[in-house]
Amino acid sequence: MMLLNKGRYQVGFAEGAAEIREAQRLRWLCFLGRRGDGGGASLLDADDYDDRCSHVLIRDKAGGGLVACFRMLTLSGGAEIGDSYSARYYNLSRLRDFRGPMVEIGRFCIHPQWRDSDILRLAWGALARHVDDARIEMLFGCSSFAGTDIHGYEDAFAMLRERHLAPKRWLPRVKAPQVFRFARALRLRQADPRRAMAAMPPLLRSYLAMGGWVSDHAVVDRQMDTLHVFTGLEIGAIPPERAKLLRAAGA
């Protein structure tokens, strides 16, 4: 099913196993291939959530190649939060009280050979369309920093602590065996805004610009070779002008 056809790109849902495997190959390249992981013979990043999710693919029209992808798991409300991928790493019991449909965004990645900002813009446009169609009230997921070394990310985490921690009523608790409690460890550090934003993953920057918030700790995920923070965005909190731009991107 086609979602968007704009400029040099097409955005649509994966149809069938072959297209899901394309997404899994791109995910392997972005998350595991960059560290030289052999990945066995398959060179796929796949898990049991793939069969439960809708997979969004962004293709280059000229050659048909896959340039970006992500997956979406739609929940009827916070009562189902325990079924999410994020719940494997975070205690999300406080979010059980959230009323309204939710979507978990996962495995977002852009092919390393593509540097076009329109790709991220179209991804958000596709999300905006799904949010409106399904009356979604919250987006959430794990925002990933490449690698598991904290060095180089101190200012980014300090800025998250200063400006973007989740409201206490939704704040995730620690569940994973290895975490970096940046809100505690960096409580005396004043973030350098320029260095912080330079180190922030593009998807997370977008979440924050729309009023998103994060957990007070990062999970050290050695399997995926990432540090990730739980990220939430309440749709009703998005500034009207920014919401208007997102809908325009998805028109």
Q: How many domains does the chain have?
A: 1
- From the list 47, 88, 54, the residue with the least C-alpha distance to 69 is 54
User: Does residue 122 form part of some domain?
Assistant: yes
User: Does residue 56 form part of some domain?
Assistant: no
User: Does residue 87 form part of some domain?
Assistant: yes
User: Does residue 106 form part of some domain?
Assistant: yes
Per-residue pLDDT tens digits for 31-88: 888 666 554 557 999 999 999 999 999 999 998 999 999 999 999 999 999 999 999 9
Per-residue pLDDT tens digits for 208-244: 999 999 999 999 999 889 999 999 999 999 988 888 8
Identify whether the C-beta of residue 217 lies closer than 8 Å to the C-beta of residue 177.
no
Q: Is the pLDDT of residue 116 over 60?
A: yes
Q: Is the pLDDT of residue 182 over 80?
A: yes
User: Does residue 177 form part of some domain?
Assistant: yes
**Would you tell me how many other CB atoms lie within 10 Å of the CB of residue 231?**
25
CA 147/CA 150 separation, integer angstroms:
8
User: Does residue 68 form part of some domain?
Assistant: no
User: Does residue 189 form part of some domain?
Assistant: yes
Domain that holds residue 205: 73-249
Identify whether the C-beta of residue 144 lies closer than 8 Å to the C-beta of residue 34.
no
Number of helical H runs and strand E runs in the chain: 7, 12
User: Does residue 52 form part of some domain?
Assistant: no
**Amino acid 35: pLDDT:** 62
DSSP for 27-70, please give it. HIIIIIGGGT---TTT-----TTGGGSEEEEEEETTT--EEEEE
- 139: left (phi > 0), else alpha (psi -120 to 50), else beta? beta
Q: Is residue 128 exposed (0-12), middle (13-18) or buried (19+ Cβ within 10 Å)?
A: buried
